[in-house]
Amino acid sequence: MEKEEHFLEVLITEEEIQKKVASLGEQVSRDYAGSEHLVLIAVLRGSVYFAVDLSRHLTIPYVLDFIGISSYSGGDPLGIVRITKDLDVNIARKNVLLVEDIVDTGLTLNYLLNNLRTRNPLSLRVCIFLDRPARRIVDIPVDYRGFEIPDVFVVGYGLDYNEKYRNLKSIHVLKDKK
C-alpha cells in the first residue's frame, strides 16, 4: 500500500557518498592526528551506517560508541526527551566526535550536545552526513559536513521512512505519487 503512495528519486549517488565519506575520514584523521582518546559517538539508529563507513576511513585510534534518545510523539504531550541507550564509555577528558546522519531543526542535536557537555569531554565536535538548514530552529556548530540538502524528505544510507529504505546505498528523495 505505502509503496504505491511514494516513489524514489536519487539525490546523492552511492559513488558521491563514498567519495565524501572517505574525504571526511581523511579530514577527521588529520585533525585528530597526535591527539589521544577519540570517541566516535553514533546517534542511534540512522547514523550507524554513516559512522561505520566513516570509521573505516580513519587512520587514527578511536573507540566507537552509541547513544539513543527518544523521539517526540504528539501523543505524549507531557513527555521530555530521554536517553534510551546511554554510552558505554566514559567520555570525561576524551575527544568526542558526535556523528549524526541528518540535522534539520537542530533540536535533537542541541539536546545531545548539552547532555554530553555535562560529562566533561576534553573536546566535543560534530560530524553530520546531511545538513538540511531550511528547517533549522537551533543553530548547531557543525565541524564536519557531508552534504547540504534542500528541504526535501530523504531516505537511504541509514535514513528511513517508517523503518523502510535504510539499506539503500544512495540518498533518495521520497516523493508522493501524483
Partner 1 sequence: MGVITVSRQFGSGGEIIARMVADRLGYLLVNREMIEKKLQQYGIPEPDLALFDERNLAAAEQEGEVEGVNEKRRRYLEALHDLFYSMAISKNLVILGRGGQVLFKDFPPALHVKVIAPYESRVERVCKTYNLDEAAAAFLIAEQDRDRQEYLRHVFGADWFDLSFYDLVVNTGLLGMEEAACLIGKATRLKESMDGVTVRELDEWLLDSAEQPPAAHEKDAAPSPFAHSSEEDFARVLDFYRIKWLYEPRTFPLQWDSEGNVTEAFSPDFYLPEQDLYVELTTQRQKLVWKKNKKVRRLKELYPDVNIKVIYERDYRGLLQKYGIEK
Phi, psi of 142, deg, nearest 5:
-105, 125
Interface with partner 1, residue 1, by CB under 8 A? no
Residue selected from 34, 114, 162, 177 as contacting partner 1 according to rule CB under 8 A: 114
Name the minimum Å distance from CB 54 to partner 1: 25
Name the minimum Å distance from CB 139 to partner 1: 7
Interface with partner 1, residue 65, by CB under 8 A? no
Say if residues 17 and 157 touch (Cβ distance below 8 Å): yes
Interface with partner 1, residue 13, by CB under 8 A? no
Residue selected from 3, 33, 71, 178 as contacting partner 1 according to rule CB under 8 A: 71
The Cα–Cα gap between 21 and 169 comes to 13
What residues from 77 to 96 belong to the interface with partner 1 (CB under 8 A)?
77, 79-81
Q: How far is CA 121 from CA 34, 67, 79, 97, 133, in A?
A: 17, 15, 28, 10, 27
Say if residues 139 and 131 touch (Cβ distance below 8 Å): no
Residues 6+ apart with CB under 8 A from 96: 38, 39, 41, 116, 121, 122, 123, 124, 125
By C-beta, is 7 or 72 nearer to partner 1? 72
Interface with partner 1, residue 47, by CB under 8 A? no
Active site members: 104
Name the minimum Å distance from CB 31 to partner 1: 27
Phi, psi of 156, deg, nearest 5:
105, 160
What residues from 135 to 174 belong to the interface with partner 1 (CB under 8 A)?
135-139, 151, 153
The site for partner 1 (CB under 8 A) is made up of 71-75, 77, 79-81, 104-105, 107-108, 110-111, 114, 134-139, 151, 153
